[in-house]
Amino acid sequence: MPSANPLSKIIVLASVLAAGFLLIILSCALFNNWLPLLVVGVFLLAPLPNAICERYSNNDDFVSEGSGNAVVDFGRYITGFFVVTGLALPVALAHSRVIGLPAMIMSIAGGLLVYGTIITFTLFFSETEEF
């Protein structure tokens, strides 16, 4: 089975990313409250600790995979913190009645699309080192 063209992957990812941003912007514009736009910043920051910590991790061939690496684990922890914050922020705003329930649903769905697109992009186009 032939693999998909990289250009078609980029087009699909760009379409999903645009749909995610559209949902978040509509959750703000339709209800005239721009606080759900904070979700974009949180989800855009979420992959950064993971990428930075993987860059500075020790990639020693003699260390087994199961021994763990504190730097990579810390990056995953901070990334998880950002993802949970991105999901909990619209819920907290809806609970305090700052935004409505439809705005919360649209904001969470759009944020998940944005974060999922970023993660999928990094997985598709990451270079693997083979020895």
Q: What is the pLDDT of residues 39-53, one digit of tens each?
A: 888 988 988 998 898
Q: Output the six-digit token pair for 98.
A: 């700052």
Inter-residue contact 27 to 12 (CB < 8 Å): no
Q: What is the pLDDT of residues 56-105, one digit of tens each?
A: 876 665 555 555 688 889 999 999 999 999 999 999 999 999 999 999 99
Q: What is the pLDDT of residues 100-125, one digit of tens each?
A: 999 999 999 999 999 899 889 888 87
- Specify the DSSP element, H or E, that contains 12: helix 6-29
Tell me the whole-structure pTM to 2 decimals. 0.80
Rounded alpha-carbon distances, angstroms, from residue 25 to 36, 44, 57, 129: 8, 15, 37, 39
Q: Output the six-digit token pair for 38.
A: 């904070």
pLDDT of residue 101: 96
pLDDT of residue 117: 93
User: Residues 24-36: what's their mean pLDDT?
Assistant: 93
